[in-house]
């Protein structure tokens, strides 16, 4: 137990966790009915459930993004992949097909998109930022092409279950993201895969010398990030029961990167923290909900978000910590 507590305090996302806890404490104290969770028709309702439900897409993207960033990369195309997956799903949902026929092709398309990114990064040797920029720019164009420039609406109860469904009183999306997180955690922490990913991020040449195929690992994480984006796309599309190629998942790639970085994973690659990314995603959503619940105008969310991002990044920055320590010591010396 003591070891566990020490691990948490030493973890790089400790301060993010503290911030999240402070945010919750603030809300419990000052936001009316924040902590209330009600049961209606066997389903749980409340602000906390709402925060969890709304952070599902960011958590899904964050899981994929964490692995990509751990290899020293970045995936800017997830927003565009969301749009493409959503467009395909909406077109199929109109045809009243079976659930699987609606869900599988978008995921396949997302995997192909991820594969394209991975190919450019791992085989063609293009920097990840640029390689994924290509799809980021053109992906939304492809989605608009599929939709014919219109918002495609559909009604398909089985498919809508993804965001409207409840299992044991909790929204289905939560189980989805928890399932993805758990399987990734098992795959990376109970097998050597996680170490491989980290070693590729820390030093690709050295990992090649010890026999890890850096390009295969990179290809894998981009495909996985693509699939995560595809799942997020399905959830977001069912939420509004329509595919809006222009706006769905807009700027979500930024939120996903943000969640990962707030979670203590360094953008230069190396060690990654899945739990940290979950904390990051929760911070982003809790912040938005808090500000809205306090009746502050929506624009202020962005400004507060900016300050929180800088603050948490600063606390996690080694050179900032060193400076604070120096200042503290200088103060002691003077006194």
Residue 324 is a binding residue for other proteins (CB under 8 A): no
CA 235 to each of CA 83, 189, 240, 308: distance values in angstroms, whole numbers, following the listed order: 11, 27, 9, 27
Among 36-44, 164-172, 187-195, 252-260, the segment contacting other proteins (CB under 8 A):
252-260
| Closest by CA position to 112, among listed 25, 12, 249, 230 | 230
269 makes contact with other proteins (CB under 8 A): no
Which segments within 86-222 are labelled E, that is strand? 152-153, 166-167, 170-171
CA distance 287 to 311: 14
Q: Which stretch binds other proteins (CB under 8 A): 35-43, 87-95, 178-186, 319-327?
A: 319-327
Site for other proteins, residues 63 to 122, rule: CB under 8 A? 74
* Minimum distance, C-beta of residue 117 to other proteins, in the bound complex (Å): 12
In DSSP notation, 303-330 reads HHHHHHHHHHHHHH-HHHHHHHHHHHHH
Contact 281, 59 (CB under 8 A): yes
Piece of 23-31, 167-175, 201-209, 250-258 that binds other proteins (CB under 8 A): 250-258
Nearer to other proteins, 149 or 295 (CB): 149
Q: Which is nearer to other proteins, 207 or 265 (CB)?
A: 265
Tokens read off for 175? 């189980």
Q: Considering only 94-102, 197-205, 213-221, 261-269, which stretch makes contact with other proteins by CB under 8 A?
A: 261-269
The closest of 309, 307, 302, 278 to 288, measured between CA atoms, is 302
* Cβ atoms within 10 Å, residue 318: 7
Least gap, CB of 298 to other proteins (angstroms): 8
Helix (H, G, I), strand (E, B) or coil at 168: coil
Pattern 274-303, binding to other proteins, x per CB under 8 A?
-----------------------xxxxxxx
How many other CB atoms are there within 10 angstroms of residue 185's CB atom? 14
Other residues' Cβ atoms within 10 Å of the Cβ of residue 43 = 14
Find the binder of other proteins among 49, 112, 134, 174 (CB under 8 A).
Answer: 134
**Between residues 11 and 301, which has the closer beta carbon with respect to other proteins?**
301
Q: Which CA distances in Å does 205 have to 196, 214, 247, 280?
A: 12, 8, 40, 31
State in angstroms the smallest separation of the CB of 312 from other proteins: 10
Could you say which of 9, 28, 36, 145 contacts other proteins (CB under 8 A)? 145
Task: Select from 206, 317, 325, 330 the one that contacts other proteins (CB under 8 A).
Answer: 317
Interacting residue with other proteins among 306, 325, 327, 330 (CB under 8 A): 306
Cβ atoms of 226 and 110 within 8 Å: the answer is yes
Q: Residue 44: beta bridge partners? A: 39
Does position 42 interact with other proteins (CB under 8 A)? The reply is no
Tell me the closest approach of the beta carbon of residue 276 to other proteins, in angstroms. Answer: 15
107 touches 48 (CB < 8 A): no
Query: Is position 202 an interface residue for other proteins (rule: CB under 8 A)?
Result: no
Calpha distance 235→225 (Å, rounded)? 15
Find the shortest distance in angstroms from Cβ 41 to other proteins: 38
**Beta carbon nearer to other proteins, 74 or 278:** 74
Query: What DSSP element (H or E) covers 242?
Result: strand 242-243
Number of residues that bind other proteins (CB under 8 A): 47
Q: What is the contact surface with other proteins in residues (CB under 8 A)?
A: 74, 124-127, 129-131, 133-142, 144-145, 149, 254, 257-258, 261, 267-268, 297-307, 309-310, 313-314, 317-320, 323
């Amino acid at each position: 137990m003591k070891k566990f507590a020490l691990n948490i305090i030493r973890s790089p996302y400790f301060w993010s966790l503290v911030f999240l806890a402070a945010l919750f404490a603030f809300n419990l104290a000052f936001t009316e009915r924040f902590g209330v969770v009600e049961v209606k028709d066997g389903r749980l309702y409340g602000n906390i459930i709402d925060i969890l439900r709304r952070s599902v897409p960011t958590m899904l993207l964050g899981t994929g993004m964490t692995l990509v960033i751990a290899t020293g990369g970045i995936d800017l195309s997830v927003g565009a992949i969301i749009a493409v997956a959503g467009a395909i799903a909406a077109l199929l949902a109109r045809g009243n097909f079976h659930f699987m026929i609606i869900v599988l092709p978008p995921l396949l398309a997302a995997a192909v998109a991820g594969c394209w990114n991975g190919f450019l990064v791992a085989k063609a040797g293009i920097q990840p930022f640029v390689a994924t920029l290509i799809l980021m720019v053109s992906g939304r164009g492809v989605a608009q092409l599929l939709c014919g420039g219109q918002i495609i609406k559909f009604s398909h109860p089985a498919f809508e279950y993804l965001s409207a469904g409840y299992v044991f009183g909790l929204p289905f999306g939560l189980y989805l993201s928890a399932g993805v997180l758990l399987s990734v955690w098992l795959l990376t922490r109970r097998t050597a895969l996680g170490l491989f990913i980290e070693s590729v991020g820390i030093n690709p040449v050295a990992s090649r010398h010890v026999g890890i195929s850096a390009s295969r690992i990179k290809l894998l994480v981009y495909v996985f990030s693509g699939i995560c984006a595809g799942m997020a796309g399905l959830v977001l599309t069912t939420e509004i029961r329509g595919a809006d190629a222009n706006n769905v998942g807009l700027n979500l790639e930024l939120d996903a990167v943000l969640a990962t970085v707030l979670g203590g994973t360094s953008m230069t690659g190396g060690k990654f923290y899945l739990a940290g990314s979950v904390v990051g995603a929760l911070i982003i959503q809790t912040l938005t909900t808090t500000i809205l619940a306090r009746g502050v105008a929506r624009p202020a969310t962005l400004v507060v978000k900016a300050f929180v991002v800088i603050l948490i990044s600063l606390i996690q920055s080694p050179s900032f910590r060193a400076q604070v320590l120096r200042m503290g010591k200088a103060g002691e010396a003077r006194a």
